[in-house]
Chain A
Amino acid sequence: MKNKMYPFYFSFGAIALYSLFMVIPGLMGFYLSFTDWNRYSSEINFIGFKNFELIFSKQNYWHSISNSMIFTVVTIVLKTVIALLLALLLTKGLKRFVNFHRVVIYLPAIIPMIVIGIVFRSILHPTTGVLNESLRGIGLDFLAQRWLTNPHIALYSVIFVDTWKGVGFIMVILIAGLQVIPSEYYEAAQIDGANGWDELWKITLPLLMPTLTVTTVLNLLYGLRVFDIVWVLTNGGPGYATETVYTVVFKEFSKGRYGVSTALSTLLFVIMSLFGYWLIKAMHNKELDR
């Protein structure tokens, strides 16, 4: 009966496209990362761990992995803290115009990253950019920097722009998380004489933990595969200062060195599939709790 009314072939389209374009390349990557596959020869030879040895020995590859890690950790912290502040402000601090602010703060999230990058190239311009002009305008000349060309701060400028774009997305999820916390808890706490600070640490944060886990994992998965924003803002430069895993993957790909490129992608594939498994388990457990 079930098989007749819910025919299995209804799921074929989804499974076929997903397998063909995402799973199969992912699995093929495992094999291809152990080969010397490149643009200039039609032969593909097995070369063992050479690509991985190269990745862990050459500084610019290694650097891209560490940059991706720094990017991921710092954006997780910044987005979570700022988004939480904004979510609390909109749910508890304001009574009117809440939806207006929510719509505006989420707005950057829907604009193509490539566009955000181009606009911020102008905003962060050392001499004519709006940021430095404003800083000079209020007498903070010493804070005006070469935001995207100074190798020591370029990565942090990229992180700043990405946080600006992504914080609204995290805020919206946190607002929804805050709204499902029963108000009786707060009423009971107030009767017991708790102040705002107690409420935050003893009610809000513990009950928001599942939502914070989800946003953290989403930020993590996003951060590790960052590409567009780096590509437009700095193109990995100055030097290798802002190179991330996916920018190196693309550069190696453009140079025709497919083997190394695949090996880097495969490393990421393994790491992220593990995180993904963890995410789905976390979400699934929450469903069971209900």
Chain B
Amino acid sequence: MMQIKMLVLMSKIRRILNHSFAILISLIMFVPIYLLVVNSLKDSVQSRAMGLELPTSIHLENYLAVIEQGKLGAAFLNSVLYATTATIIVVIFSTTAAFVLSRNRSPRNRFLYFFIVLGIAMPINYVALTKVMQATHLINTVAGIAMLYAATKIPFGVFLIYAFIESIPREIDEAAIIDGCDPFTLFFRVIFPLLTPAWVTTAILSFLDFWSEFILPLYFLQSSAKWPMTLAVYNFFGRYEASWNLVSADIVLTILPVIVVYLLGQRYILSGMTSGAVKG
């Protein structure tokens, strides 16, 4: 009797320890976001040390200040423009390519699939890329940067969607063909809707990455009017390094969209991250 009681107590203690440890880790993961939010509400004196303490008075005007001084509006719109355009390109090109490469596995198509998927590992040769960008007159243009973003995620998109297409029975294609569908109707009216989970995952993951992209605009967008949020924030930080309240407010506005997309789409993100790596 005594022994059973001991065992129950032990497992209880263990459970409490596990929970405390998990909470501690989650807190550590959350500290930076907490720091940003509380310091974005402080005045410039209190935020100097970017400390953990709560603001003594709430200063929402920091947000207005950064929107005006940081030209945040323009940078925000740029980021939205680049990230959405590139995401749409990735979704359309990856689904169409994955569809034909997966359904018609001729030796040529198998080779092309591996050729594209190799891009997941391939680093971009930024320096040589400037030559391509100049030759195609795409350097410093919106279209250029959007296509460039898209190109970096197409290999991942094709990989993810290719695997998903296998789960859609070929009988569906055959039925559609008998009903007189041409390839376009078959794909856009029948297959594309069935691919929704896969392309939504691809879209969310691509969008998050495009929103965070720093190195491509650093190389290929010289004019500050075309900068996305990441470059604008970095530049803002350089100019206002001492004013952590403004820097924090600027950053909170920058990461708000990704946090919203993440919280809304976390089911897709977590499933997408894993479907590629683990085949169950």
**A contact set with B: CB distance below 8 Å:** 2-8, 10-11, 13-15, 17-18, 20-26, 28-29, 32, 86, 89-90, 93-94, 97, 100-108, 110-116, 118-120, 122-123, 125, 128-130, 133, 164, 168-169, 172-173, 175-177, 179-180, 210-211, 214-215, 218, 221, 224-225, 227-228, 231-232, 246, 249-250, 253, 258, 261-262, 265-266, 268-269, 272-273, 275-277, 279-280, 283, 286-287, 290
Instruction: Please determine whether B186 and A5 come into contact, CB atoms closer than 8 angstroms.
Output: yes
B49–chain A nearest beta-carbon distance, Å:
4
Among A100, A164, A173, which residue has its beta carbon within 8 angstroms of that of B274? A173
Interface readout for B7-35 with A: 1 if CB under 8 Å, 0 if not? 00000001100110111011011111101
B229–chain A nearest beta-carbon distance, Å:
8
Considering only CB atoms, which chain B residue lies closest to A107 in the complex?
Answer: B29
Report the stretch among B56-64, B67-75, B195-203, B251-259 that lies at the interface.
B251-259
A170–chain B nearest beta-carbon distance, Å:
10
Instruction: Please determine whether B152 and A21 come into contact, CB atoms closer than 8 angstroms.
Output: yes
From A97, A262, A286, name the one whose CB has the most chain B CB atoms within 10 angstroms: A262
From A18, A133, A172, A286, name the one whose CB has the most chain B CB atoms within 10 angstroms: A18
Q: In the complex, what residues of B have CB within 8 A of residue A272's CB?
A: 121-123
Instruction: Please determine whether B151 and A21 come into contact, CB atoms closer than 8 angstroms.
Output: yes
A287 to B162, CA, bound (A): 13
Number of residues of chain B lying within 8 A (CB) of chain A: 100
Instruction: Please determine whether B277 and A273 come into contact, CB atoms closer than 8 angstroms.
Output: no
A-B contact count (CB 8 A): 291
Subset of 26 A-B contacts with CB under 8 Å: A10-B100, A11-B101, A14-B96, A17-B154, A21-B124, A21-B148, A22-B152, A32-B127, A93-B14, A101-B22, A107-B29, A112-B211, A112-B212, A112-B255, A118-B234, A128-B48, A211-B277, A228-B215, A231-B214, A250-B126, A262-B125, A265-B123, A265-B126, A276-B118, A276-B122, A279-B121
Instruction: Please determine whether A115 and B104 come into contact, CB atoms closer than 8 angstroms.
Output: no
Give me the 5 closest cross-chain CB pairs, A-B, nearest first.
A276-B121, A176-B274, A14-B97, A112-B212, A21-B151
